[in-house]
């Protein structure tokens, strides 16, 4: 069992398929599909079409209804698609059935995200995290019937937990334990080197595409890899930033948050996000020109709470105010977060206020700890 990688030599032509379950909001569904398109683009595939279907519940065999299968087949023929990406999470059986029925490689959202993570990982820690996530994903895909097979053993048969398939999985489990140990070690080392730092740590967090890397570049004149793609920076990037003539801080970039990121992936990438729990100040960057910016902020706050970083002092930065569509989104954001600072990382607007706010937060932290 192996994750199938997206082949970079032949351009992949992807058809997106989305099943809207129950009474999911239409706008929500459209946004999810738009995000899937950006993810596919990030993975290097060209999106040639999209098909949506609303159903009360998925079918066990293909997830979609059988009538839709023919439509997908036709769409593939017409567009020359050679890859199908589901916005929904599929069971291994469903992937198999779709592969067979359509004769075209089918992947789901989780597999797509895993591939992006795998491509973007550069440091030893990020690579270990990705491998761990992939293995955990593969293990979770072993059909339930196989996991349950051990309960079928009769008298004189092999003991529970020792089916041949589980034995075959043993190398995978061993590798998982190895990786977990390796990650613990890397994390401990990072914490130790962090304790030696003389400078406060400021951490950029926020949704993918919010403008974190752009801000790191303009603030710290760094050459972090900025591009339009999601996850341009899986690895943590750290730069020195002068917030005034005397005071220096370490400014660090993180991998972006993503909507509907499967919980298993959040867990595997915990140590990437772990840096936020050690930060002195968090800069939460939001794309304020984006219609659902408030939803994004909620996800960021939720995720930070999940990893235990919600007690770290934070500053909300409403980015991309140079974009005209920000004007329609800003009022609601400011109503909910009156202390948020409006900036444009691209046009270098409001950056001095960001530095002042960092200095203020750091100083009030010092006051608190000196009591
Ligand atoms: P990240 O994923 O959060 O690191 O986002 P990036 O820094 O890579 O930026 C994503 C996209 O948003 C890029 O195309 C940037 O040029 C663009 N961007 C970033 N900041 C601004 C801004 O202030 N205004 C506008 N209009 N675009 C911006
Ligand atoms: Mg980035």
Domains of the chain in sequence order: 13-166 (3.40.50.11060), 197-364 (3.40.50.300)
Q: Please say whether the beta carbons of 308 and 330 come within 8 A.
A: no
Element (H, E) at 346: none
Q: How far is the centre of ligand 1, averaged over its atoms, from the C-alpha of 227 (Å)?
A: 8
What values do phi and psi take at 156, rounded to 5? 80, 0
Q: Check residue 105 and give left, alpha or beta (phi > 0: left; psi -120 to 50: alpha).
A: beta
pLDDT on residue 230: 43
pLDDT of residue 136: 84
- How high is the pLDDT of residue 144? 52
Task: Choose among 145, 279, 293: nearest CA to 206.
Answer: 293
Output the pLDDT for position 267.
61
The helix (run of H) or strand (run of E) holding residue 55 is: strand 45-55
Ligand 1 atom, smallest distance to 227 CA = 8
The rounded distance, in Å, linking the Cα atoms of 366 and 142 is 51
Atom of ligand 1 at shortest distance to CA of 323? 26
**0.85 cut: is pTM over it?**
no
Q: Which protein residue has the closest C-alpha to ligand 1 atom 10?
A: 209
Tokens of 138: 């593969």
Closest-CA residue, ligand 1 atom 22, reads 320
**Cα(211) to centroid(ligand 1), Å:** 4
**Predicted local confidence at residue 266, as pLDDT:** 67
**Taking a C-beta distance cutoff of 8 angstroms, is the pair 163, 146 a contact?**
yes
**Residue nearest atom 25 of ligand 1, based on CA coordinates:** 320
Give, for ligand 1, the residue of 212, 299, 346, 350 to mutate: max count of ligand atoms closer than 8 Å to Cβ.
Answer: 346
Residues 199 and 343: their CA atoms lie apart, in Å, by 25
User: Which of 203, 214, 344, 345 to mutate to test ligand 1, by most ligand atoms within 8 A of the CB atom?
Assistant: 214
CA quadruple 83, 86, 92, 98: dihedral positive or negative?
negative
DSSP string computed for 110-145: HHHHHHHHHHH--SHHHHHHHHHHHHHHHHHTS-HH
Containing 329, the helix (H) or strand (E) segment is: helix 326-336
Torsion of CA 262, 268, 273, 278, to 10 degrees: 140
Residue 260 near residue 291, CB atoms below 8 Å: no
| Residue 314 burial by Cβ neighbours in a 10 Å radius (0-12, 13-18, 19+) | buried
Instruction: Please enumerate in sequence order all residues whose Cβ is within 8 A of that of 108, keeping only pairs 6 or more positions apart, or say none.
Output: 85, 86, 88, 89, 90, 95
Length of the chain: 371
Output the six-digit token pair for 98. Answer: 């779709």
Q: Would you tell me how many other CB atoms lie within 10 Å of the CB of residue 148?
A: 10
Quote the ligand 1 centre to 313 CA distance (angstroms). Answer: 24
Q: What is the pLDDT along the chain (371 residues), one digit of tens a residue?
A: 445 555 555 678 999 999 999 888 888 899 889 889 988 887 889 999 999 999 999 999 999 988 899 999 999 999 999 999 999 999 989 999 999 999 999 999 988 888 877 776 666 777 888 888 888 888 877 665 554 444 444 444 444 444 555 556 788 899 999 999 998 888 788 777 656 656 888 999 988 789 988 999 888 865 444 444 444 444 456 777 888 878 888 888 876 777 677 767 766 565 567 778 889 999 999 999 998 899 889 888 988 888 888 899 999 999 999 999 999 999 999 999 999 999 999 999 999 999 999 999 998 876 544 33
Q: List the one residue out of 85, 121, 103, 47 whose CA is nearest residue 269.
A: 121
Residue 65 to residue 50: CA distance in whole angstroms: 16
Which pLDDT belongs to residue 9? 59
Structure tokens at 184: 């613990």
pLDDT for 284 equals 97
Give distance in angstroms: CA of 83 to centre of ligand 1.
29
pLDDT value, residue 368:
47
Atom of ligand 1 nearest to the CA of 210: 3
pLDDT for res 164: 55
State the pLDDT at residue 366: 63
Interval between CA 346 and ligand 1 midpoint (Å): 7
**Can you name the residues that pair with 257 across neighbouring β-strands?**
207
Strand partners, 85: 16, 107
Q: CB within 6 Å of ligand 1 — which residues? A: 208-214, 226-228, 232-233, 256, 319-320, 322-323, 344-346
* Spacing, Cα 224 to ligand 2 middle (Å): 8
3-state secondary structure of 86: strand
CA 83 from chain center: how many Å? 22
Concatenating the DSSP letter of every residue in 235-301 gives S-EEEEEESSSS-EEEEEE-PPB-TT--HHHHHHTHHHHHGGGG-SEEEEEEETTSTTHHHHHHHHH
Q: Tell me how far apart the alpha carbons of residues 168 and 177 are, in angstroms, rounded to a whole number.
A: 16
């Amino acid at each position: 069992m192996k994750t199938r990688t997206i082949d970079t030599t032949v351009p992949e032509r992807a058809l997106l398929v989305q099943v809207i379950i129950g009474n999911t909001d239409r706008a929500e569904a459209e946004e999810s599909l738009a995000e899937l398109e950006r993810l596919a683009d990030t993975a290097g595939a060209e999106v040639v079409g999209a098909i949506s279907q609303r159903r009360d519940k998925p079918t066990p065999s293909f997830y979609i209804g059988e009538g839709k299968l023919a439509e997908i087949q036709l769409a593939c023929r017409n567009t020359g698609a050679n890859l199908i990406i589901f916005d929904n999470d599929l069971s291994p059986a469903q992937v198999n059935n779709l592969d067979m029925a359509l004769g075209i490689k089918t992947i789901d959202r989780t597999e797509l995200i895993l591939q992006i993570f795998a491509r973007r990982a550069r440091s030893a820690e990020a690579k270990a995290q990705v491998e761990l996530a992939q293995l955990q994903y593969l293990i979770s895909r072993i059909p339930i019937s196989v996991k349950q097979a051990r309960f079928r053993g009769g008298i004189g048969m092999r003991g529970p937990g020792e089916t041949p398939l589980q034995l075959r999985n043993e190398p995978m489990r061993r590798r998982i334990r190895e990786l977990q140990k390796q990650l613990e070690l890397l994390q401990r080392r990072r914490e130790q080197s962090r304790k030696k730092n003389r400078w406060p740590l400021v951490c950029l967090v926020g949704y993918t595409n919010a403008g974190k890397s752009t801000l790191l570049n303009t603030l710290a004149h760094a050459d972090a890899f900025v591009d339009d793609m999601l996850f341009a920076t899986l690895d943590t990037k750290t730069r020195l930033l002068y917030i005034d003539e005397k005071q220096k801080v370490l400014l660090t970039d993180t991998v972006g948050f993503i909507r509907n990121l499967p919980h298993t992936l959040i867990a595997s990438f915990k140590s990437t996000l772990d840096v936020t729990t050690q930060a002195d100040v968090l800069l939460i960057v939001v794309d304020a020109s984006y219609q659902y910016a408030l939803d994004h902020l909620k996800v960021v706050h939720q995720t930070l709470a999940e990893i235990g970083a919600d007690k770290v002092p934070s500053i909300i930065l409403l980015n991309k105010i140079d974009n005209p569509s920000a004007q329609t989104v800003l009022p609601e954001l400011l109503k909910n977060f009156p202390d948020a600072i409006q900036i444009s990382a691209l046009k270098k607007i409001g950056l001095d206020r960001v530095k002042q706010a960092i200095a203020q937060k750091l100083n009030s932290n010092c006051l608190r700890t000196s009591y």
